[in-house]
Structure 1
Amino acid sequence: MNDVTAEALTPKLTGKIARDRIRLLRTPRPPQGLIEKFKRIPDASSVISDVMDELGITGAIGASVLKPTLPNASIVGPALTVRNIIQREHVYETARDHVNRMAEFEAHNLAQPGDVIVIDGVAGISNMGGISAQTGKRQGEAGAIVSGGIRDVSHSRRVDYPLWATEITPVTGKWRIETVEINGDIQIAGIRVSPGDIVVADETGVCFIPIARAAEVLERALAKAAFEEEKCSAIDAGTSVADLPSKE
């Protein structure tokens, strides 16, 4: 294997809690070229949401629910999933004894360039902070989607790490949250997300596309985007409303 050993290619796990919770060491990868083609679609979440409706796929969530932290941010990538729950012990006990069961750093450890961390998190508590965001940026992640709280937003903005979250709070999760699964199936706003599903996020919202349907969604989305571009060109050219293209 040239100068690269099998050991070097195996993610190094930093804690027994995390090792016990990881379902897949390797996030399923999309077909070659698929992510780049999704990135060509303008107004991607809207176009893809329409296509998913037509195909009977549930997977779109508005930006009023999952709010972006960076203006003009737009990302596409495979999901690397994390599931958090509240710790059983009272926070005063865990803080006093420094009991930290958060393990999203193991997701960063597993991440490959372009991955999107997707966290099924805890409301009212931070599931990702600034140092975590900076780590994700260093790992080459596209960004993160968090159902739950995040904090240190100025830090994540400073390192240009895009985040979409349901809440922003200063309340730390390190004494309150337990990560119970990495790279398993999760639920985000009632939508099932599996490792490797395609995540498309922009200022309008977030779409989760099942990897098994991604090529089908992509083909229709590219066609719809081309039709809308044609329609916009006709508008700019002064075509009357009655004569604008009306069928895709």
Structure 2
Amino acid sequence: MNDTLAFDMTPKLTGKISADRIRVLRTPRPPDGLIEKLKRIPDATSVIADVMDELGITGAIGTSTLKPTLPNASIVGPALTVRNVVQREHVYEAARRSVNRMAEFEAHNLALPGDVVVIDGVAGVSNMGGISAQTGKRQGEAGAIVSGGIRDVGHSRRADYPLWATEITPVTGKWRIETVEINGDIQIAGIRVSPGDIVVADETGVCFIPIARAEEVAERALAKANFELEKCLAIDAGAAVADLPSKE
């Protein structure tokens, strides 16, 4: 008898977003070994940003824009995308009637272990709070990237759920935001992100690698990281500046 627990992986919608607004039911999975390869790169976003420049790929954003909530956090995983817009109903009327159209919980519902929730969100209000972050941690997500506000930072830190966001605010998005699409193409700081694109985030920044180029980027980034390690070892050994390795 197989002792492995069986789970019903069929998404169960809460009713806050219709099924036709979920463009991809399952986030595309990365090739075997790709995530592990990228995790081996120290100072990953800096190295990957250089490689993406060399390959003509736009996709790097600094932490001056997307600020991390956990020091020394680093994550790698496929993007599970969410798009939020401002709710049309007046905020106080929506609050009075408890009209909550936020649906990032549907993204948690779809998430597979290692996914990174990426939210094209609304500025000035929270697109993800502490309970949402705790749920994401429970689902095995690597973390989340939010263009827009987040709140309950202490809660998400206690849950050890890494977040990168453009804003932190106590103002709830419950009565102000409507989630209009999950797993469609989104824009983060002018960069297009598609479901399954590889997200690499650390204390220096965030890189979005198009899945079609991810293997190429990973190979080049590993080679560059190994070259930089060689250079650092030469520095530690006392090599003269003129004698340091200068070509990869």
What is the TM-score with the length of structure 2 in the denominator? 0.97
Q: Deviation digits for residues 152-191 of structure 1, max 9, x if unmatched?
A: 0000000100000000000000000000000000000000
Residues 214-229 of structure 1 mapped to structure 2, 5 A cutoff: 214-229=214-229
Q: Cα distance 1:125–1:16, how it changes in 2: closer, same or farther (>3 A)?
A: closer
Q: Name structure 1 gaps, 5 residues minimum.
A: none
In structure 1, the partner of 2:190 is 190
User: 1:17: how far off?
Assistant: 2.3
CA–CA distance in structure 2, aligned partners of residues 81 and 196 of structure 1: 9
How many residues matched? 247
In structure 2, the partner of 1:29 is 29
In structure 1, the partner of 2:156 is 156
In structure 2, the partner of 1:86 is 86
Alpha carbons 1:18, 1:103 under 8 Å: kept: no
Alpha carbons 2:69, 2:157 under 8 Å: kept: yes
CA–CA distance in structure 1, aligned partners of residues 92 and 56 of structure 2: 47
Q: Counterpart amino acid of 2:158?
A: R
Alpha carbons 1:45, 1:201 under 8 Å: kept: yes
In structure 2, the partner of 1:239 is 239
Residues 34-73 of structure 1 mapped to structure 2, 5 A cutoff: 34-73=34-73
User: 1:140: how far off?
Assistant: 0.2
Alpha carbons 1:18, 1:106 under 8 Å: kept: no
Corresponding residue SS for 2:85: strand
CA–CA distance in structure 1, aligned partners of residues 159 and 166 of structure 2: 21
Are residues 1:19 and 2:19 paired? yes
User: 1:92: how far off?
Assistant: 0.8
In structure 2, the partner of 1:145 is 145
CA–CA distance in structure 2, aligned partners of residues 93 and 3 of structure 1: 51
Q: Name structure 2 gaps, 5 residues minimum.
A: none
Corresponding residue SS for 1:117: strand
Q: Counterpart amino acid of 1:23?
A: R
In structure 2, the partner of 1:135 is 135
Moved over 6 A (4+): none
CA–CA distance in structure 2, aligned partners of residues 139 and 71 of structure 1: 22
CA–CA distance in structure 1, aligned partners of residues 203 and 188 of structure 2: 18
CA–CA distance in structure 1, aligned partners of residues 159 and 147 of structure 2: 21
User: 1:20: how far off?
Assistant: 3.2
Q: Provide the identity percentage.
A: 88
User: 1:16: how far off?
Assistant: 5.7
Q: Cα distance 1:240–1:11, how it changes in 2: closer, same or farther (>3 A)?
A: same
Q: Counterpart amino acid of 2:111?
A: A
